[in-house]
Amino acid sequence: MKNKADIVIIGAGMSGCSIAYNLAARGAKNIVVLEKSFICSGSTGACGAGFRMQWGTEMNCRMSKFSTEFFEHANEILEYDGDIELRQSGYLMIADTEKELTQFRKNIEVQHACGIPSRMVSLEEAREIVPHLNTSILSGAAYCQKDGFLNPHKTTDAFYKAAKRLGVEFYTFTEVTGIKVEKGRIVGVETNRGDIETRIVVNAANAWSQGIARMVGVELPLYSERHQILVTEPVEHMQDPMVMAFNLNLYVQQSPHGSFIMGRSDSSEPRDLRRTSSWHFLEEMAKTIDKVLPPIGQLRVVRQWAGLYNMSPDRQPIYDKVEGVEGFYVAVGFSGHGFMFGPVTGTVMAEMILGLEPSIDASRLRLSRFAEGKLFTEPSVV
């Protein structure tokens, strides 16, 4: 293992790999990525694989559009020898209350101002898009054809391989045990496999980022929460878009392989980094799917799993350089959408670290917004 690096990134999920690639692509050298398990072993590897531009804040609309446009060409840009399996088969957002429908209308105005091709759809049209949808319990829907899914493992692998080709070194099964600070600036990182001298550390550990920040005496305003997903046996293709509902609390997509992948949130989930499966989730998920998309209830669940959301107070990430600890950067608090924002994360952080002109203004996502009381809560999060 190297004992000296210009930049050390902690975490090799989507964020860490994208930051590494974007730094190297802009000419940065001597970059090391430390991962305590294997590549994509954390939140990215357990995510629901969707990406969407149907957000309720202008910031998220702009960032997701940037990411989507990247994903559309990611195989070529990253010169990937595999396929990230991008499919723009849409997101159908369904509402069962007037309140939620009003929120959709407001969101669409924000989306249109950003050039996102979303629209309200009638229940009849929603049924044309997803024939097995139980529209009798719904009040309306919104749709964007350009939303969709891509394979999180392959996408992260594409960034990882591209970064590696540009000279980035990845050390897996290497856990950061401490960060050395002298006179208010980072001077090195300690791991279970030896120490690395460095003046720049990027905390991209998402669910585990609070622990990393505490190593330099910084308390991040975040908590990590378990979220669960289940997958069914594969069946013939029957559903194009992701179906998502905030009030009914579900998201469900049919993977290219044919299995249905679905999840929902639960505010009573543990916040202790546990990633076990619960019976309660299985029951609640089964009841929800049986009600909203009854034919899918006839499929067999073959596995459930869990991953961690790294929740921030306004459910938006933090991209910043931390005041008081020179050389310490954070790309954390993704609140469940770190995978789909990966291209933006890498771009914003690389430009910030290298002092380049930002190609997307993410200054509102600074860490100090919480202390300043300048939160801007994203209304549309599962």
Partner 1 sequence: MDENTIICRCSDVSLKEIRELIAQGYVTYDEIKRLTRIGMGPCQGKTCGQLVLREIANATGRSMSELQFHNIRPPVVGVKLHLIAEEAERNEE
The 9-48 site mask, x for binding partner 1 (CB under 8 A), equals: -----------------------------xxxx---x---
In the complex, minimum distance from the CB of residue 208 to partner 1, in angstroms, rounded to a whole number: 17
Task: Please report the sign of the dihedral spanned by the C-alpha atoms of residue 334, residue 335, residue 341, residue 344.
Answer: negative
Binding to partner 1 by residue 379, rule CB under 8 A? no
Q: How many amino acids of this chain bind partner 1 (CB under 8 A)?
A: 36
Distances (CA, A) of 143 to 86, 227, 256, 365: 18, 25, 20, 27
Asked if 287 interacts with partner 1 (CB under 8 A), we say: yes
Strand, coil or helix: what is 360? coil
Q: Are 178 and 164 in contact (CB under 8 A)?
A: no
Which neighbouring-strand residues pair with 225?
309
Pick 184 or 294: Cβ nearer partner 1: 294
Q: Is residue 145 involved in binding partner 1 (CB under 8 A)?
A: no
Tell whether residue 282 is a contact of partner 1 (CB under 8 A).
yes
194-233: which residues touch partner 1 (CB under 8 A)? 231-233
Residue owning tokens 């970059």:
31
- Does position 82 interact with partner 1 (CB under 8 A)? The reply is yes
What is the rounded CA–CA span in Å between residue 206 and residue 198?
21
**Which region among 59-67, 202-210, 291-299, 360-368 touches partner 1 (by CB under 8 A)?**
291-299
Binding of partner 1 by 235 (CB under 8 A)? no
Piece of 47-55, 178-186, 218-226, 290-298 that binds partner 1 (CB under 8 A): 290-298
Q: What whole-number distance in Å separates Cα of residue 322 and Cα of residue 16?
A: 17
- 193 is a contact residue toward partner 1 (CB under 8 A): no
Check residue 78 for interaction with partner 1 (CB under 8 A): no
Q: Which of residues 49-68 bind partner 1 (CB under 8 A)?
A: none
Applying CB under 8 A, among 277, 313, 321, 326 the residue interacting with partner 1 is 277
Whole-Å CA distances, 254 to 147, 184, 278: 14, 50, 23
Determine contact, residues 8/28, Cβ cutoff 8 Å.
no
Do 39 and 21 touch, CB atoms closer than 8 A? Answer: no
Residue 254: phi and psi, rounded to 5, are: -100, 125
- How do strand 91-95 and strand 194-197 relate by DSSP bridges? unpaired
Q: Is 165 in the site for partner 1 (CB under 8 A)?
A: no
Q: Binder to partner 1 among 305, 326, 360, 366 (CB under 8 A)?
A: 305
- Toward partner 1, which CB reaches closer, 154 or 199? 154
113 binds partner 1 (CB under 8 A): no
Among 71-79, 299-307, 337-345, 351-359, the segment contacting partner 1 (CB under 8 A): 299-307
The two three-digit tokens of residue 338, written as one number: 């770190």
Pick from 187, 218, 299, 382 the residue near partner 1 by CB under 8 A. Answer: 299
The closest of 59, 89, 71, 75 to 339, measured between CA atoms, is: 71
Distance from C-alpha of 320 to C-alpha of 177, rounded to nearest angstrom: 22
Q: Which residues pair with 223 in a beta bridge?
A: 311
- Least distance in angstroms from the C-beta of 302 to partner 1: 5
* Closest approach of partner 1 to the CB of residue 318, in Å: 27
* Shortest distance in whole angstroms from residue 256 CB to partner 1: 10
Q: Does residue 155 touch partner 1 according to CB under 8 A?
A: no
Return the half-sphere exposure (C-beta side, CA atoms, 13 A cut-off) of residue 136: 5
Per-residue CA distances from 174 to 49, 111, 171 (Å): 26, 41, 6
Contact residues for partner 1, defined by CB under 8 A: 38-41, 45, 82, 153-154, 157, 231-234, 257, 259, 277, 279, 282-287, 289-290, 294, 296-305
